[in-house]
Structure 1
């Protein structure tokens, strides 16, 4: 085994990378829940795996992501750790939320990125809903493909 496969996973699950986020990053398995997907996305930022970040964002938003900006953030950020504050697995049949803090080093010391993220399950696979890209208008179809209006689906959950 290489050092990468035997090292502890950056997501801080306590498992080795190969059997934790490594299995998700290489496509051997899918995340079982939103928390596992969130942890794997954090690990992907640590390891600068921007393709994985894009692939795990809601498909309708993927083309809106600025890959260069994501890559620059990953390249210029020294991640220090992750703390899961809460995982709400059942906001609905297909929605879940994860509140977390990700710590990173700056010239002024360690800073915290705090986020309450929304995740949606589409065709038995979890995806991150990115609130930083243009979202549908309230009466437009939801970005998750539920067939509901955005305001009655992901839109009302993004405000949690």
Structure 2
């Protein structure tokens, strides 16, 4: 049960149009894991926007994590303001799949200026949960 009606008015940063408390917040808070690769991608975008570094590390494939990830992600989330997300395509990644691909464009502002991150992200299941493995990234002018 919701105890704060303003939760219903706070739209999720991922652009789904849903309230944050019903969209990405359950995954980021650890209450309910992302059911699909796209849901994980959306929640990771939101985590970048909110600075939820632990969630970003925990939802990266264990073999892809590095000893300095927390420091790097913390720096990045402090200097980058994410301003919009558009999902372009998904391949597999459903609740019954083991792998998936999500292509998206994410708009941002940074000290170097505004831009768009265009990525084709790869996801897989690790111990039953969706994790990000890697992606093909292209930075575009805004």
Short-chain TM bin: 0.7 to 0.9
Q: How far is the alpha carbon of 1:69 from its aligned partner?
A: 1.1
- Over the aligned positions, Cα root-mean-square deviation in angstroms equals 2.5
Deviations 1:88-123 (A, max 9, x none): 116xx5110001111012467531011100000123
User: Aligned pair in 2 of structure 1 residues 125, 77: CA closer, same or farther (>3 Å)?
Assistant: same
**Are 1:50 and 2:33 matched, yes or no?**
no
Moved more, 79-88 or 53-62: 53-62
Structure (1 or 2) with the greater strand fraction: 2
Tell me what 2:40 maps to. 37
Q: TM-score, length-normalised on structure 1?
A: 0.73
Q: 1:118 aligns with which of 119, 122, 134?
A: 122
Extract unaligned runs of 5+ from structure 2: 137-142
Q: How far is the alpha carbon of 1:63 from its aligned partner?
A: 3.9
Tell me what 2:108 maps to. 104
Tell me what 2:139 maps to. none
Q: How far is the alpha carbon of 1:4 from its aligned partner?
A: 5.6
**Are 1:73 and 2:76 matched, yes or no?**
yes
For 2:27 and 2:82, the matched residues in 1 are separated by 20
Return the index of the structure with the highest Cα Rg. 1
Q: TM-score, length-normalised on structure 2?
A: 0.82
Tell me what 1:87 maps to. 90
Extract unaligned runs of 5+ from structure 1: 133-160
Q: How far is the alpha carbon of 1:5 from its aligned partner?
A: 6.3
How many residue pairs align between the two structures? Answer: 132
- SS for the counterpart of 1:73 is helix
- SS for the counterpart of 1:18 is helix
Kept in 1, the 8 Å contact 2:79–2:110? The answer is: no
For 2:133 and 2:98, the matched residues in 1 are separated by 12
Kept in 1, the 8 Å contact 2:79–2:111? The answer is: no
